[in-house]
Amino acid sequence: MKNAILYRRKFASVLMLVALCVATLPLGSTHAQGNPNKPGPLNLQGDKVSEKLRARMRSPNADQERVEVILQVQGKMSGQLNALLNRNGVHIKKEMRQFGMSLVELPVSVIEELSAFTEVAYVSPEEDTHVLGHVSRTVGAGAARAQTYTSVSNLDGTGVGIAVVDSGIFDAHSALLNAAGTSRVVFNKNFVTTETTTDDPYGHGTHVAGLAAGNESTLSGAYRGVAPDAKLIDLRVLDAQGIGKTSYLVAALDWIAANYQTYNIRVVNISLGTPAIESYVNDPACVAVKNLYAKGIVVIAAAGNNGKDVYGRKVYGQIHSPGNSPYVITVGASNSFGTDTRTDDQITTYSSRGPTRSYSRDAAGVKRYDNLMKPDLVAPGNRLISARPASGSYITQSHPELEAYNGPGTADAFYYLSGTSMATPTVSGTVALLLEVNPKLTPGMVKVILQYTATPISGANLLEQGAGQLNVAGAAKLADLARRDLTATTPLGTSLLTGAAPAPQSLLNGVNYTWAQGVTFDYTFGTGIELITKFQDGFRNSSRISNGVLVLSSGFMVKDTTKLTSGINLGLNIMISGGGALGTGTVFRSDLRGSGVLVSDGVLVSDGVLVGDGVLVSDGVLVSDGVLVSDGVLVGDAIFNAGTILIGGDYTACMAP
């Protein structure tokens, strides 16, 4: 899709006010009590009010303006808070009870008083959201199916549920049927309050579903997805133009939290995003995915497609939400150039680079950036062929040139799409295979397995590719070796594998590729065979592997010995891969202290390139050696990035030309 078209659609979304057709719920003391079984307090940080709302509160017409917000409440509302809401004619439009959140319409003038209540954890604006064959061979899915496993004879994702949170799915597509000719889409629900269908009038979700779980019925499996017998759960959050709302996304995630056991939803695919402004600690979508992580659900999210500016120059710091959360596996896009071999693969120019630049403000008003190392890994995302809904979808009508195969029936069409939206479902399908091989894997174990077995792309750095490119065969082999009797109380350092560690390489399409043999932490990377041979604290659902690294106030990074075993080594730099194991390339950026990558005040320091608090982004300033960095600076209602205007808060399917 051409950038100009995408930008025009984003501008159009700002000019159009969409009424939410949901019933107004009565106010009462029972509202927003949350789920008593949800894990722990919210632990949000900084100012309780989103910076975008603060800007609205300062506007000259704030006294007359009403706004829709996402209200996060910890525990039960007090009588005083209910009285405030009733007195000001507040309308509660939707409740996401699993997360203690509500979509609320209220006067802007009430927000300050509302935030003063102890039980109010965070107030953020309702935002617009948009969508952001050869695949099976190049990612190693074919090689994975050729391997033998302990308890699986036909590796295809059978029994595992993948929730596709997107623009809907065309259920009748031939690629989504099982052997009996019945659709593998076992449940549909629409969260777009302005439309009623669960079909895919936009045309993005069907393509995503096919990449994750398309069968081999067409052209001898030319367009087969990664997990061709997995169950699909269709949760529609984007309308016929590919636009949605924050509340649609959070409501879909809330539904998953309440119903995941019914459909064995182990994987959630989010091929959409919005520029990440609020810290992942406060962002409603990020808070929701953290809750899913605690339930043992693996969430896969697109990194975004803002890796370059309008002049083609690289841009860093544009990872999208909820891909900025450490509780999701964030996927960037590689370009396979249509070949099965990986020797010519590169990172696509559009794939968003880290670090994450979402932030909160402390009591002194100083921005505290998350600055997490993202993406986690990459997968092919350029010009991928997958399922196309029946004629009439927005993408089909706007871009007939994307057609790849049309026939013989209306349910047998396929077309090309590109973007991190397309890379993400290949990872989701892979996770379904891993969980079929070993259902006892936790989200933390899945992330380590995917990263440890990834194959680094030569010439790409950690902020572009994470640990490297997806390797389905290596990941499936390692997943099968992991023990099935590990629990939440397993001691740190317990043996993780049932046998000896495998050789760290995979034979893919006749070529041996070396594994990364490491993982990325929040601010650096770690290597060592104990990542896969011994139980780490981050393998529990209540923790995550990145928690094993601490940053002291001086900027020094240390290993938390209560969370990591002693055989894991921390990298001291952001590296450019030479195509071998993680950390064996050349230095891309380093901390001047030589003790870590990202220092504690949220500033990335390096060999003369400043990436951080002092960078002016509104006019596209070129920083030092040509690296452009987005600080996520809010200017009115828009975010300016090197001359390109991105509408503030829009979620979009992560697609690219």
Active site residues: 166, 204, 421
- Vertex 47 angle, CA 43 and 50, to 5°: 105
Which residues are 244's β-sheet partners?
129, 238
Alpha-carbon span 532 to 538, nearest angstrom: 12
Q: How far is CA 444 from the centre of its chain?
A: 15
- Could you tell me if residue 158 is left (phi over 0), alpha (psi between -120 and 50 degrees) or otherwise beta? beta
Residue 233, helix vs strand vs coil: strand
Q: How far is CA 382 from the centre of its chain?
A: 18
- Vertex 209 angle, CA 205 and 215, to 5°: 145
- Name, in order, each residue with C-beta under 8 angstroms of 118's C-beta and a sequence gap of 6 or more: 78
Cβ–Cβ < 8 Å for 581, 516 = yes
Q: Max CA-CA distance within the chain? A: 71
Residue 352's nearest CA partner among 388, 321, 398 is 321
- Name, in order, each residue with C-beta under 8 angstroms of 8's C-beta and a sequence gap of 6 or more: none
Residue 462, helix vs strand vs coil: helix
Residue 250: HSE in the Cβ half-sphere, 13 Å Cα cutoff: 30
Which residues are 640's β-sheet partners?
645
Alpha-carbon span 352 to 37, nearest angstrom: 36
Alpha-carbon span 56 to 109, nearest angstrom: 9
